[in-house]
A and B are shown apart, each in its own frame.
Chain A
Amino acid sequence: KAGVTQTPRYLIKTRGQQVTLSCSPISGHRSVSWYQQTPGQGLQFLFEYFSETQRNKGNFPGRFSGRQFSNSRSEMNVSTLELGDSALYLCASRGGGVETQYFGPGTRLLVL
């Protein structure tokens, strides 16, 4: 099976702009979680989607939002970008009744 894919891999934006990141899970996986990772920091949980519904949400402002489509692909949107949003954004998929999460390669976002 193909692994988790994320697009784009790299992105440069300026403050105030908005950005949309995409994640395609492993085929058959219905859960997609998003994480923010800043240099030297751990994995900060953003939200989890399962069957098109947000099932869990981390402690991030409302500028961060997401959605999931019927084919389980997920998008994450960040509006009114701030310098502090510069980070590696990782998505992870899970499925088949197994707890294990499999990560995508991430999207590296730089906000200038």
Chain B
Amino acid sequence: GENVEQHPSTLSVQEGDSAVIKCTYSDSASNYFPWYKQELGKRPQLIIDIRSNVGEKKDQRIAVTLNKTAKHFSLHITETQPEDSAVYFCAASMEYGQNFVFGPGTRLSVLP
């Protein structure tokens, strides 16, 4: 079955710096890759996603890149702010959301 690895497990950056979180997946049939942000005590919220027919997607300060050949995808956050501090989860799934597998998460701390 699908296996998703995520690195680093913890990440501390200074406010205003960029943060990058990387994920790898094992099943070449996976074609949907979302990223979720979970603030302390709250539910995971979708922040951005990408499908396999796209190499990069941006939404203001966040972007996701996908390399299908290497089976890895990354989340990029620019100009980090304290409110970006949270746990970020990547995930991979097949068409129609089958075999939805999450990575173990990355705890991001943005230091003022």
Contact = CB atoms under 8 A, between A and B. Distances in A.
Interface stretch (B18-26, B57-65, B91-99): B91-99
B32 A43 contact: no
A24 interface: no
B96 A42 contact: no
Interface residues on B, range: 20 to 34
Interface in B48-103: 49, 89, 93, 95-103
Interface string A19-38: 00000000000010101000
A99 B99 CA distance: 10
A103 B45 contact: yes
B93 A42 contact: no
A17 interface: no
B95, B98, B100: most-surrounded residue (chain A CB, <10 A): B100
A71 B32 CA distance: 27
Contact of A43 (B49, B89, B95, B98): B89
Given A99-B97, A100-B34, A100-B97, 5 more contacts: A33-B100, A41-B104, A99-B49, A103-B36, A105-B42
